[in-house]
Amino acid sequence: MRPSRREFVKWVTASGIALSLSRLEAMEPTGFPARATLPGRGGWNPAANGAGRIDGVAKVTGAKLYASDFRAADLPGWPAATSHAILVRAPDATHVYLGMDLARLSGASKPSVVVTAEDLAKIGTRVPEFYASDLFCPIGKTPLYMGQPVALLIFEQFDAFDRARLALRDGTFVKFGEETGPVDLPSYGAFRFTRVAGPTPESPDVYSPIQAGWVTPGRIQNTALPVWSSYAKETAAPYGKAAVHGEQIRAELDPKNPALLVLDRTFETQSVDPMFLEPEAGLGWYDRKDERLELVLGVQGPYEATESIAFLLGKARAPFKPARINTQFTYLGGGFGGRDHTSFVLYVALAAMFFPGNPVRLAHDRYQQFQGGIKRHPFKMRSQIGIDRATGKIRAFAADHVLDGGGMANFSANVAVVGATAAIGIYDIPKVDVTTVAVHTRGVTAGSMRGYGTLQTLTALEVLIDEAASALPLNPIEFRRRNALKSNDRTMMGNLYTVSVRTPEILDKLEMHPIWRQRAEEKARLQSGGILVGTGVACVTKDYGTGGDASLGRVEIGADGEISIDGDHVEMGNGIGTALANRVAIHLGGVADQVSVARVDTYDALGLVTSGDPYTMDQKTQDAAEKNPRWVPAISSATSASIGAHVGTHAAAEAARVIFRYGLWPAALELWRIPSADPRTKDFAKARWKDGQLSLPGLTPLELPVLAATAHARNLVTGAIAHSFSRWGWSRARFQFGGEQYRAEIDALAVRKGGGKFAPLDRVNVLFPPTHNNQRGNVYTSMCGTLVRVEINRTTGALRIAKAYSVLECGQPLVPEIVRGQSQGGFAMGVGYALLENLPPYDGGPGNGQWNLGQYLVARGSDLPLHDLEIEMLPPLTPDEPPKGMAEVVMVPVVPAILNAIFDATGHRFQSLPVTQAMLKGAIA
C-alpha cells in the first residue's frame, strides 16, 4: 500500500515554485535496479543482530549510489546525452577582476554557454541569506576571497569540456588589473562567555551566560588577538557586566601569586581540507517545455538545498523560473560537515537553467575541490590557567580565540561559539572568561567540519593541562581526575548536562591500560637504540546536536511481517541505514527488509508547516505558532555523523514504538487470549523480543509474521509516520488512541490501520523545548579518552605511532561495528591533523587552484598503528539508555594525545600544528 516511488509530495511552494524531493534509488524499477541498489533489497540483510551494514554489498560491489556516479543516461525519462560544466574561480583576491581570456578556448575547446554575474543580474536571481555574497565576482570588483567563482562554462560535448579543463588549470585564464589589497568586511561574529561560580557547588552562580544571555562587544579592535578589556567601560550592559567579571578573572591569574601555578600560552592550528573521497558533484536538467528543473545532488541537508535553489530562482524572469523543482538525493562519498549548506548546489541548478533541454553535469576534480571546498577554521588562541599548588585544583581559566573564516560566513559564528563554550573540556572550573571572534579574510571559506571548533580549542587545552601536570608535578591522569566535572556540576555556560557524565570511568580505563602502565619500561627499553619513546594522554568531551534538530521517520509492517523504514537523514559513510534498521528492530523484533535514507518525500500525511528560525525565535512567537496542530519549529535538518544515531533514528524509533503499542501488542493479547480486564494487558513494557519472537513470562512466544498478519486482519496499527524536534531536549505531545492518550517524544503523528491509508492524528497538546534552551548551550555530551605511544628516530626525526588506545561512551551503540569504524577513521584524521595536513591560508594556498594530493599529505596506512589501535566502548548505563552522538568526539583527543606523547619523548612542547618530521628533527638536535 506504499505510494509509487515516482509519486513525489509537493513539500512546499516557494515563490510559486512547487518543490518535491525524493531518494534517487527510489526510482521505478524498470531498467534501474541493475545499476542502483537499495539497502536491504532482495532479502539480503547482513544487519541482523548487528552483524553488518545493510548498505555494504551495494557499496563494495560498485552499485551506482553517489552523485558522481550518475549521468543522464542512468535516469529514466531524461535525455541520453550529458553535457558538462566548469566553475571558474578567481585565484587572486587582492586585484580587480577584469574578466576571462576566452580567446584561449577556441575551436574544439570553446564553451557552448558562458554564465557570469552580468547574466545573473539580467535574469533576476537572488542569493539565499546563508550564502550572502556575489555568486560570481562581477568585472571591475576585487574578489571577496580566493576561489570565488567568476563564471560557469557549459560544454555540450565532453571532448570540448575535457580540453578546456586541462587548458584552464594553469591559473592564468582569469585576468586581473589594479592591486587593491583584500576586501575588508566586518567579522562574522564575536562573543564573550564568562562565568563566576557561587561560593559552594550548591550555590547559584554569581554570573553566567545562562543567567545573563550571550554577549558581544559593540566593536572589535582589529589586532592579531583582539583587545577586549577596554570595552568594559564603553559598552553598556549586558556586555559591560561580563567584561567586568572577565577582567577580574584575568587579574586573578597573576603569575606573581605564590599560591597559584599560572600558565599563559598561545597555540595555533592550521587550515585543512575535509578530504572526503568523493569531490562535490551534481546533475541538472531543465525541461523548458514542462518548466521542470530536475536535479541529482549529494548533500548533507536535502531539505535546505532544495529550499535554497527555490529561493535562488523564485523571482527569476521567464524563462529562467521553473514551475517545479524535483530534487533527487544520493549517498555521499564522505561529508565531515563540508557538504552541510554548500553553495555548490546553486551552481548545479544554474548550469541546468542556462542550457535548457540538456542535462548538465557539474563535478569538481580534486584541484577544484581544494580551491572551492569548505575548509576547517585555523585558530589563534591565547590561554591562561591558574591552579592551586596545594590542592592541584584549577581555580580560573581565560582564553581568547580568533578564527579565520575565509571569504563567506558559512557557519563561522557557530563554530566560534561551539569552540569557546567547549574551551574548558571535561573540567570543573569555577571562574572562566573566554572571548572569541570569527573574521573575514581572503582565504577559502571555512565552515562546518568534524570537531566543529572543539578540535582546535580542546587540543590547546589538553596540551596546557599536560604542561600544568608536569609543572605541579602531578600524574597527568590524577590531575585530570581531581578536576573532572561531575554529573551535578555546572558547565562554563552555567547549565547541567542532562545525559550521563562518565569521565571517572574513562580516566580509570586509561590509567589501567598497559600503554600507560608500561610507559617507563618502554622508554627505557628503546632509549639506548637511538629511539625516543613517549606516551601521551588526553580526555575530552564533545557536544552533539545543534539546538535545532528535526527528525522524520516512517515505518510500516506488512501482513507477512516485512518491515520498511524511511528516514530523512543522509548516508555519508555513517551507516545511518543500518542504525535505523537496528533501532527499529528493538521495538518490532526484526531488521527491516527495506531501508531508505535521505527521504523527505514520504511524510505528506503529517501536513507539516513551519515558520521562523528555530534558533532565534522567542517564546511568544513559538507559543502562538504551536496553536496550529501541524506547525513545528523545523521540518528537517542537515545530517552530521554526530547526530545520526541520536536524531536521525529518533522519529523512526518512535514510529515503531507506536506500531508495537497499538498494532503488535493488541494482536499478541488476542493470540494469547488475554481478556481486556486482565492486568497483563498493561505489561507491554515487560514483553521482550528474542530471535523474532515476542515473549511474556508464562506465555508461548509469538512469531513476528503471525503478529503482523493478525494486526492487518484486525485493522490495527500497521504503519506510523512521526516527526520530532530537539532543542537540547525532545518535543513531547499526547495523541488520542481510543479511550487513552498516548504520550511520546514526538510532535506530529500519522498512522495506518491494516492495509489502509495514512491519516494524521491531531496532537491533544504539545510541549516544544523552550526557546531559551539555546541560551543555555549544549546539555548533550559524549566523552572519549586516548592514549598514544610514539617512537621517534633520534637521527631523522621520523615518528611512528607504536600503539594507541581510545575508550569512549556513546550510550546505546546501535551498530558497534560502525562505532568502531568511526573511531578508527577519527583516529586517522587526528593523525593527519597533528602531523601532516596543512593548507597555507592565502597566496600559495589552495585558493590558487594548483593544489592536489601531490602537495597535501593525508594519513596513510604507514602512518597509523593499524594492528595496534584498540577501541573500547563503555556499555550503556541502562538497557534503555538512548544512543549518543560520538562521531566527532573520537577524533578530538587523538591530536593532543600525540602532542603530549611527543613532549614525553623529546622534552619539547609544540604550540602549533602540524608537527612535521623536520620540526621534530630540529627540536631533537
Q: Which pLDDT tens digit goes with each residue over 869-893? A: 999 999 999 988 999 999 999 999 9
Say what percent of the chain tops pLDDT 70: 93
Q: Tell me the three cell numbers of residue 335.
A: 561529508
The Cα–Cα gap between 440 and 220 comes to 13
Q: 729-763 pLDDT, tens per residue?
A: 999 999 999 889 999 999 999 999 999 999 999 99
Calpha distance 684→688 (Å, rounded): 9
Task: Give the pLDDT confidence score for residue 116 in this predicted structure.
Answer: 98
> Which residues neighbour 121 within 8 Å (Cβ) at sequence distance 6 or greater?
none
Cα–Cα distances (Å) from 693 to 444, 478, 690, 872, in that order, read 56, 48, 5, 31
Q: Within its chain, how far is the Cα of 101 from the centroid? A: 40
- What is the identity of the amino acid at 799? L
User: Which pLDDT band holds residue 47 (cuts at 50, 70, 90)?
Assistant: very low
Name the residue among 414, 545, 426 with its Cα closest to residue 492: 426
pLDDT digits (tens, 9 = 90+) for 130-144: 999 999 999 999 999
What is the Cα–Cα distance from 783 to 486, expressed in whole angstroms? 12
Crossing angle of the two packed helices 476-483 and 454-471, in degrees rounded to 10: 110
Sheet containing strand 740-744, edge to edge, reads: 740-744, 732-737, 763-767
Residue 41 has pLDDT above 60, yes or no: no
Q: Counting Cβ atoms within 10 Å, is residue 298 exposed (0-12), middle (13-18) or buried (19+)?
A: buried
Contact 653, 583 (CB under 8 A): yes
**Amino acid, single-letter form, for residue 299:** V
Lowest mean pLDDT among 26-40, 265-279, 639-653, 807-821: 26-40
Per-residue pLDDT tens over the stretch 502-516: 999 999 999 999 999
**pLDDT for residue 219:** 58
Q: Which of 142-156, 226-240, 301-315 has the least mean pLDDT?
A: 226-240
pLDDT at 458 over 50: yes
How far CA 337 is from CA of 332, 406, 660, 702, 840, in Å, comes to 11, 16, 35, 44, 21
* pTM for this entry: 0.94
Which pLDDT score, from 0 to 100, does residue 224 have? 46
Among 375, 435, 374, 438, which residue's Cα sits nearest to residue 403? 438
- What's the pLDDT band for 61 if we cut at 50, 70, 90? confident
Q: What secondary structure does DSSP assign to 703-754, as a single string?
A: EHHHHHHHHHHTT-EEEEEEEEEESSSB-EEEEEETTEEEEES-SEEEEEET
Which residues are bridge partners to 434 per DSSP? 193, 399
**Which range has the worst mean pLDDT, 82-96, 250-264, 580-594?**
580-594
> Mean pLDDT over all residues of the chain?
91
Residue 7 confidence (pLDDT): 30
- What is the reported pLDDT for 220? 53
Q: Count the Cβ atoms, other than its own, within 10 Å of residue 866.
A: 11
Q: End-to-end CA distance of the chain, in Å? A: 74
Residues 306/19, Cβ–Cβ less than 8 Å: yes
Q: Using alpha carbons only, how large is the chain's radius of gyration in Å?
A: 28
What is the distance between the alpha carbons of residues 272 and 836, in angstroms, rounded to a whole number?
Answer: 10
Helix axes 454-471, 894-906, angle to 10 degrees: 30
For the ranges 54-63, 135-144, 674-683, the lowest mean pLDDT is seen at: 54-63
Q: Give residue-wise pLDDT tens across range 538-594.
A: 999 999 999 999 999 999 999 999 999 999 999 888 889 889 999 999 999 998 988
In Å, how far are 124, 397, 527 from 119, measured between CA atoms? Answer: 9, 53, 67
Across 169-220, where does the E strand assignment appear? Answer: 174-179, 189-196
pLDDT over 90 percentage in the chain: 83
Neighbouring-strand partners of residue 266: 382
pLDDT at 574: 86
User: What distance in Å separates the CA atoms of residue 789 and residue 900, rounded to the nearest whole number?
Assistant: 10
Kind plus residue range of the DSSP H or E element containing 379: strand 379-388
Burial of 493 (0-12, 13-18, 19+ CB in 10 A): buried
Give 607-633 pLDDT, tens digit per residue: 999 999 999 999 999 999 999 999 999
Q: Write the burial class of residue 791 (CB in 10 Å: 0-12 exposed, 13-18 middle, 19+ buried).
A: buried
Element (H, E) at 434: strand 431-439
> Would you say 83 and 360 are in contact if contact means Cβ atoms under 8 Å apart?
yes
Query: Read out DSSP for 214-253?
Result: -B--S----SSS---TTHHHHS-TTHHHHHHHHHHHHHH-
Q: Residue 193: what pLDDT? A: 96
804 — pLDDT class (breaks 50, 70, 90):
very high
Give residue 169's pLDDT.
Answer: 87
Partnered with residue 539 across adjacent β-strands are 785
pLDDT of residue 51: 53
Give the pLDDT score at 340: 92
Q: 20: Cβ–Cβ under 8 A, 6 or more apart, which residues?
A: 8, 9, 10, 11, 324, 325, 326, 327, 601
Report the C-alpha gap between 580 and 53 in whole angstroms: 11
User: Cα 157 from chain centroid?
Assistant: 37
Helices (H), 54-170: 56-60, 117-123, 158-167
Enter the C-alpha cell of residue 239. Answer: 556586555
**pLDDT tens string 204-219:** 999 999 998 889 886 5
